Every structure is written in C-alpha cells, then in structure tokens.
Structure 1
Amino acid sequence: MSSDFVVHPIRWDRFVLAAADPHARAWLTLQSHRGLAHNTLDAYSRALERYFRFLAQLHFSCVSITRAEVGLYLASLQADGARLSNATMQQLLTVVRLFHAYLMEEGVRANNPAATNHAGRPLITRHHKLPWIPNEDDWHSILAAARQEPIRNRVMLAFAYDAGLRREELCSLRSDDIDPSRRMFRIRAETTKGRRERIVPYSASSSELLHCYLLHRRTLGQRRGPLFLSESRRNYTEPISIWSWSKVVLELARRAHIERFSTHTLRHLCLTDLARAGWDIHEIAAFAGHRSIQTTLLYIHLSGRDLSAKLAASMAQIHARRIQMLAEMNV
C-alpha cells in the first residue's frame, strides 16, 4: 500500500444507528478502506445516520424499503420549515443510492429504491446552478475586510485565489511543499478531491505575503511541517483545521457584509478569471485538478466568454449591415 494512502477512522460514537446496523457498518467501513477523503467519509457517515434515523422512526428496514418510502424520506428532509438546497438534497440521496447499490451487490436486495426509474426519472430533479462569484463592489468590500486579518489569514486568502485551492488543499499545505525560488507549490494527491497531485504557481504579491508570514511563523517554532499553524490557546502551533479556517472566512464575510462569500468563493473566482483571460478548458482543468471537463465547463459558462465572443461577432455583422443599408440610401 502506498504511503500516501490514508485510511481515516470512523467516529462510530457519532453515528450510533449506522454503527448498530451490520449492513450500514460494513458499507461505511468499506468506504473508509477505499481511502476516501476525511470530509467525504464524514459526509457519507452523517447522511447515512440521517437516513437510518428516518428508518427507525417509521420502523422501516433498509432491506425492504420501497421507492415510495424513499420518497417519504426525501419529503421529511424538507419538513418542519427546513429549506435544504437542491445540491444538499442530491448529496443525501446519492448516499442512499450508493448504499442500496451495495446491498444489491451483496445479494441483500434485488433492486435499488433510490435509483432512477425505468423511464429515466430521478427522485429529485437536478438543478444546474452556476456558483456565485463576487462582483467588483463585493470584491473591494472583501479586500477591505481582509486587510484587518492577521498575516497568516491574508496569505491563506491570497493562496486560495492564486492557485484556486479547495479548503482542505489549503489547510494541508506543508512547508516542504513550497518552492519559493520558482514560486510554485505542490498539492499532494491525498489532500485533493480527485486524488491527483499537481504543481501550481503563486504570484509575486503572494510571495511577499508568504515571506512576511514565514518570518512570523518562526516565532511560533522552528520545526518544518504544516505551513499554517493555529495560534489559539487550545491548539497553539497545531495545524489549522478546515473548521477553524471556515470560521475565519465566515467572520470576514460578516464584516464585509457579503454573506455569500465562503471558503470556496476564491476558487470559483480564480477559475472564472482564468476563463475570462482566455485559458483553454484543458489548461483550467489541469490547474484546478478537475477529473471531468464537464466541471470545468461551469467556469467557461460563468465567465460568459463564449457568449461574449458570439455577441461581439454578431453585433459587428449587424453593425456592418446597417452601415451598408444607410450607404445604399444614396444610390
């Protein structure tokens, strides 16, 4: 087994219903042994625990539940005033579908009640929404709020945009991942969503911020290792966690009065800016670490690059035709 292959433990004390069911426990253990990212494994565990809570309340069994009853589960998720997004509903349904696919593979069930039916109709219609990115006014508000942040947070914000980093990729950076002479750093495979290592650059301005942070970091300790360290009393000099970073960004968003700003916003903005700058779709995919070009296409659409080019070409043709028609009036 590769040294980069990490098996994350499951906190069974947090998922007692899933832990008590032998099928659910076996499936989650399998996901852990597959080397899923910690966040993905945790999301699977929480979603399956939620599903088993529903089964327990109505005395249903995962072995005999029907498609109609899975529909009841989905309806229950929106009960009591809950307003889950389409993306969240899709994620919860995906876990149920994958779990029942496992039961079929094991010969426990003959069908998958959460799968698309014979007519090709899913239980939930998927909404294809483009990610939100800040406009120029929003961006200046975010920058104004960011200037008040400690040097560590400013470097992290700069890197998140410069390299289009996901939250876990950013928080997992190590001091030996960085090559200051070439202004590059390595994103290790085990920290990425697609388990693909990549090398990405960072800008000269980010390099200056990094230099200031490294001088500050030496006051916290001389040892190499995780790049971004916590300075809280409870976790002093420990690696900053993704949850701590999320809190930092949430507080920054509140101060900037841009509530939609999140840890993923800078990645969305970076990739959209690359599309606006004319980068090829395959170049953006390699830079971002996307497994599928379809994911990268979101940023081409979000940039409006193709539509802008078509509009400019069309308007030029219309303009030329109108000029010609005006000229013909004198004939």
Structure 2
Amino acid sequence: MSSSVVFVEKWPVLGRHGKAAEWLQVWSDLGRAARTIDAYGRGLSEFLIVCEREGVDPLTAGRADVAVFVRELTERPHRRGANVASIDSGAGLSNATIQQRLVPVRLFFGFLVEEGLRESNPVGRGRFVPGRHHGGTRRGLVPRFTKLPWIPDEQQWRDVLAVAADEPIRNRVMLALAYDAALRRAELCSLRTDDVDPGRRMLRVRAEVTKNRRERTVPYSAPTGVLLTGYLARRATISRARGPLFLSESRRNHGEPLTLWTWSKVVRRIALAAGVERFSTHTTRHLCLTDLARMGWELHAIATFAGHRNTDTTLQYIHLSDRDLADKLAKGMDHIHAWRVAMLTGAEATGTAK
C-alpha cells in the first residue's frame, strides 16, 4: 500500500485536496521521520477542515483565514480538561501546540508558492531583520512563548527515586540511563544491544532516532553500569537475540521491543505514586542538563552532550541552573551593601545625618 493511500485513509480530508496530499507525500519521500509526518498530516488536516467549514479554498486562503484557524485552536478545549489548558494559555491549546499546528500550514503554503500556485505565504514566521530598530526580530503570526523547562527539586527527585527503587530492573536501568545520558524518550526506547559499550561505559545514539538526525556518543556512570549488567543478564532469559535493548515482559507482547507508550505509562505510574505529577519521560533529560550546567560545564560541551543543533536551546539550562546569577548577585550586593554602610557611617561621623 502506497504512503499516499495511507495518508488519505488516516486523514480523509487530504483526499479532497490533492495538493495537500501531494505536499505530504513529498515530505515522506524526503525521508522525514514517521512522527514528523504524523504531526504534519494532523496539523494540515485540521486547517483544511476549518477551511471547508468556512467555505474557503485552501489554495487561495489569506491571513484572515489562517487567523480563524488560530482562533479555533485557542478556543478548543484541551483533551485533558480545563485545568491542564489553563497552565499554558488559559483556554484551548497551549502556545507550543499552536505553534506546532501552524508549522505544516506554513510549509504547505510555501510549497504552493514554489509551485507557482500562490504569490505569497500568509503564515509569517519570526525572523531576524537587520536595521530594524537597530537589528531585531520580526514577530511571527503568533507570538512564541519561551518557558524554562520544569525540573524537580531535591525532595521531589528523592520521592521519585524511592518509588523507582521498587521497580523491575529494566525500568530502573532505563530511568538511570535517561538521566545519565540525557536521553529523549525515543532515543532511550530505540537503543539496541550493539549501541552499548560496557567496557568504556558509552552509548551510541544513532542518527536515525535523534530529533535532529545527528549521531552522538555519550557516557553513563559506574552505578548505572552495574544496573545495566544485571539487566542484560535478565534480558538473556527473555531473548538471546541481538536487537532492541529493552524488551517487553508482558504476556501479550513478551519479548517484543518496548514501545514509547509503554515507557510513558511506566514513568507516569512512578510519578503519580511519588506525588510528583509533573514528572515525565523528558524530565530526566532536563534535570541532567541542568546539573551539568550547575557543575560548571561550558555551553558548547553541554550542547554536544545533549545533541542540540542550536546553543540557544542549551542556554535554557544554563539560565535554569542559576550557576552564575547567585554568585554575581552576592558579589554585587556585597559591594552595594558596603557602599551604603560606608555612606551611612561617614554621614554619622561628620554629623550630617538627619
């Protein structure tokens, strides 16, 4: 079955708009990850549905029509309830989700411009503009909010570890590797037996499973190495075949590769049991990178370790660590305090105090 047929089956609205299906097929042929294609297909199909409802031809839609789509996203109830929605935006989808939905719409209009079917793209994106107010950034269609990643405090982390201590060895080693090597969920669940070098305590994170398609090699700690050795012995009782490192032990999927969703459920269960509901599969990565910043690692070293293409992303963890701010504040306040005290005592000494 061709991928275009699969697209139409999954998102029937694409079948009613040939250029939309053609655009998504191009991205699929270019080798974009399945999850990226899924996000593109979902976002564009939602826009096309709004266009059909409003009686708008997507090929000629303007900025006002895109604005209607944005309004629909901001007013849409969150699937997890009003309380979750209010954390980010007060109503509807979060700012990050709205940005994600707009990406395929912008790319689709860019495709139409390249094909000569439009003259301009109604979905603007923020970009640097030299000379504008002495150099600055022109805002995109929807302002982008940048928030620092959430990390647990020491007590919350201890609570999570206390619950995790009773987990099977597979779950414990996965949690340890996720923290030690700052692994994303997909990177962790995609590890294979030949990605592990126990002798040097190193992991190879293959390019095809990373977010930006850049391979990297990262270390893990000696305690994690002990856990991993124990897990490998356990894994040998399930399967001696080389391949995916982490295997399911359930009756239904015994010996099958552990899925992303199963790992998410494991972490969610641990988080709820520990009373730290904000803890997720990505929290260990945030915490590791913040700890590296706290230890004084340089920006580019942290970026290389994390596999960040842009150091702007890495800077979030530098800021979150408060590595330099506290020292600078203390030194600055000491100086100011000493100056104020000197002024006060000097005033009293000369008898000019009032």
Query: How high is the TM-score relative to the length of structure 2?
Result: 0.85
Aligned length: 324
Matches of 2:315 and 2:233, distance apart in 1: 40
Q: Report the CA distance between 1:319 and its aligned residue.
A: 4.7
Alpha-carbon RMSD: 2.3
Deviation string, structure 1 residues 253-277 (Cα, Å, up to 9, x no partner):
2212222111111101110111111
Structure 2 match to 1:230: 248
> Could you list the runs of 5+ residues in structure 2 that have no partner in the other structure?
79-91, 133-137
Matches of 2:332 and 2:34, distance apart in 1: 49
Structure 1 match to 2:105: 96
Range 216-225 or range 298-307, more displaced: 298-307
Whether 1:268 and 2:300 are equivalent positions in the alignment is: no
Deviation string, structure 1 residues 88-122 (Cα, Å, up to 9, x no partner):
11111122111111111111111112125999443
Map 1:250-265; keep pairs closer than 5 Å: 250-265=268-283
Whether 1:74 and 2:70 are equivalent positions in the alignment is: yes
Corresponding residue SS for 1:261: coil
Structure number with greater Rg is 2
Matches of 1:93 and 1:52, distance apart in 2: 12
Structure 2 match to 1:3: none
Q: Give the counterpart letter for 1:26 in structure 2.
A: E
Q: 2:124 is matched with which residue: 111, 115, 119?
A: 115
Structure 1 match to 2:227: 209
Matches of 2:185 and 2:77, distance apart in 1: 30
Q: 2:263 is matched with which residue: 226, 245, 260?
A: 245
Q: 2:12 is matched with which residue: 16, 19, 23?
A: 16
Structure 2 match to 1:33: 29
Structure 2 match to 1:291: 309
Whether 1:306 and 2:324 are equivalent positions in the alignment is: yes
Corresponding residue SS for 1:28: helix
Whether 1:48 and 2:44 are equivalent positions in the alignment is: yes
Structure 1 match to 2:83: none
Matches of 2:10 and 2:291, distance apart in 1: 41
Does the Cα contact within 8 Å between 2:51 and 2:65 map onto a contact in 1? no
Corresponding residue SS for 1:219: helix
Corresponding residue SS for 1:253: helix
Q: Report the CA distance between 1:41 and its aligned residue.
A: 1.9
Range 46-55 or range 284-293, more displaced: 46-55
Matches of 2:247 and 2:139, distance apart in 1: 48
Deviation string, structure 1 residues 134-158 (Cα, Å, up to 9, x no partner):
1112111211221222111111111
Matches of 2:215 and 2:227, distance apart in 1: 25
Corresponding residue SS for 1:63: helix
Q: Report the CA distance between 1:243 and its aligned residue.
A: 1.6
Matches of 2:225 and 2:341, distance apart in 1: 52
Matches of 2:146 and 2:100, distance apart in 1: 14
Matches of 1:23 and 1:146, distance apart in 2: 49
Corresponding residue SS for 1:144: helix
Distance 1:200 1:121, change over 3 A: closer
Matches of 1:116 and 1:187, distance apart in 2: 31
Q: 2:94 is matched with which residue: 77, 81, 85?
A: 85
Q: Report the CA distance between 1:216 and its aligned residue.
A: 0.6
Distance 1:204 1:56, change over 3 A: same
Matches of 2:237 and 2:190, distance apart in 1: 20
Does the Cα contact within 8 Å between 2:75 and 2:93 map onto a contact in 1? no
Distance 1:217 1:19, change over 3 A: farther
Corresponding residue SS for 2:204: strand
Matches of 1:123 and 1:163, distance apart in 2: 36
- Comparing both chains, which one has the higher relative contact order based on Cα–Cα distances under 8 Å and sequence gaps of 6 or more? 1
Distance 1:63 1:269, change over 3 A: same
Does the Cα contact within 8 Å between 2:289 and 2:317 map onto a contact in 1? yes
Structure 2 match to 1:221: 239
Q: Report the CA distance between 1:80 and its aligned residue.
A: 5.0
Matches of 1:193 and 1:81, distance apart in 2: 29
Range 148-157 or range 231-240, more displaced: 231-240
